[in-house]
Structure formats: C-alpha cells, structure tokens
Structure 1
Amino acid sequence: MPDFWIAIFSSSLLSGVVGALIAGAFGLRGKRNDYVNDYFKTIIKRRLEAYERLEQLINALKLTVLDDDQRPYHQVFSNEATWTEVYKLFLDSTSHPLWLSSEVFSKTRELNIMFLKASHDKRDLIEFGKSNYPPIAELREEVERVHAKDMLNLHNVEHFLKQKKEQRSGFASFDPRG
C-alpha cells in the first residue's frame, strides 16, 4: 500500500511542477507582450505629438492674402511677428525628427530651406511671399500629402522602426541665397 501512495504523490507533484512551469512560461510571455505593447504605444504617442506639431505648421501655411496688386502670398509673410511665429512652428515641428518618417522630414526640410531664403538681410517678406507663392503652396501640399500617408500607417511601429534603422543620414549643405 505505501507504493500506491508514493505513486499518487509523485504524479501529483510532477503534475504540479509541470503545471507551474507552463503557467510561468505563459505569464512571462504575457508580460513580454505587455512590455512590447506599452513600448509601441509610447512610440505611437510620440509620433502623434510630432505630427500634430507638423499639422499646426501646415495649417499656418494655408492662409493666403491678396496684396493691393492682387497678387497672392501666404499670410506668414505679412509682417515680422507672423514670420517669427511660423519659424517657431518650424522649430517645433522639426525638432523631433526621430518621430517623423524620413519622407515627411525631408519635405519639411525642403520647405524650411525655401523659407530660409526669405531670412536674408535686406529682405522684403511680402515680395518674397508673392514671388514664391506657387512653389511654397505646392511644397506645403506635398508635406500635407505625405503627412496624411504617414497617418494611415502610424500604427505599424515595426515597419517605421525598420525604416529608421535603414535610413541613411548625413549633412546636406545649401545656399540660402539661391
């Protein structure tokens, strides 16, 4: 009879150990998945914040006014105060390039370089705005298009991180005078 009890206790003990190992493995896997999900949520949150800043810049560049000669220009060129504000928006929207896609950052940088040309000494902001109205409007639309395209895939964190890993960075010089 004692062998009978030993067999029952040992099979119960073995079942308990196996059950605990299985439960532990599933628990660890669940915790790891929770960690990855929290990490992805953080990345998405940071990206959303960066894209919201970019959206503010896009919206600021949509307002157009007509001068007395009936030539359009973007309102940001109407005076130094609005010019300063748009540059604050540029700084805010491009100060976190890690969270923007390479395409969005590149288009925003092109727009920034175009605006730097207006930052030269002896500038006439309104004249610059009038003479550059079409290219600025077109580039703003391109930024808005790639912004919207990115918003469709914002949830795909793995793809975004893979693109960032493969991205080549480097310094690109430019001449603000032309």
Structure 2
Amino acid sequence: MRHIGTILLETPRLILRRFRPEDALPMYQGWASREECTRYFPWPPATDFEEIKERLTQWITNYESPDYYQWAIEHDADQTLIGVINLHNPDPLSASAETSYILTPAYWNQGLMTEALKAVLDFAFYTLDLNRVEADVFEGNTPSMRVLEKNSFQYQTTTPAKYQKNNTPITALQYTIQKQTYINL
C-alpha cells in the first residue's frame, strides 16, 4: 500500500477532486439533507446547515493525512457538485479498503456513479496497490448493488443488524472486488 492522499481523478464526464469550503451549500442541498439520499446510511438527513459546514471543514482538514481518500464528484459539463465517493478504513495488513458513495438524485440513472467508482478502483489498484476493495450495502438498496456489480464486485455475505438507524437494526450485504479480478477485466 502506497498512501498518497486524495488526488485529482478525471473520467469522461466527471472530475473527482478534494472538497472545498464553498461545497457546503451544494452538498447540503444536493444530498446531505435529503431523505432519498441518506435512507441507506446509518445517519438521518442533515437538518442543520452549520453541521454540514463543520463536517466539510473536518474533511478538508483530513486531507493533510496521506491515507485519507474523500472525493467531491463534480459533473464536468456544468461544474456542478453532484456527490461524494471515498475509500475509507484502509488496512495495511490486508492491503484493503472500503468504499461508499452518494449521488444527487437529479444525476441518478445516468451511469455516473458507476463511472466514478471505476476511477476510484483504478486509483485503488494501480496507484495505491490495494489487493481488495469492499462495500457494505443496506438491504434493499438495489441501485447501489447494481453500481457495484457493474464494476465487477461480487456479493460475499449478509450480516444482520450490522448497522442501526433510528434504533432499528439494519442488515448489510458485503460486496468485494479483488485486484486480480479487476485487472483481468
């Protein structure tokens, strides 16, 4: 594993970049305060814009760490912030990390998150030299499962009550992709 921190990644339609302070409002309006975007995450929609500004400030501070990977997803055609994708919990012993992502609903069903995830996987396997990337998906989140499957992730296991939301246990499905599988695609 060779940590280099969050670097600029580009795809045909997207720019994956570090977050900036001016991203707070589009983040809040685009996904952080929206139930349809947070329903498959363990936290509720944000109701306080100041909370989002604080979270964003923390993310920006975290960029000082070479093992922090959090990208703002910007739509190249209109320079609009449309989502977030990350690699988190990097494990040097297994050379693995986890990924998660959120996209603004106006940009759903266009293949954009599939494209963003492919860029992050290229980075993970070819630049960081990871051996495996994992993703947990809440039961019922079929669109996210499709994003993973389109990037050749394989279902591994189901864990009942892995997360909680509003004091309700949530079942998670784990998907993984191995470097060898990815480079042989």
Shorter-chain TM-score tier: under 0.3
TM-score (norm 1): 0.26
TM-score when scaled to structure 2?
A: 0.25
Greater RCO, 1 or 2 (C-alpha within 8 Å, sep 6+):
1
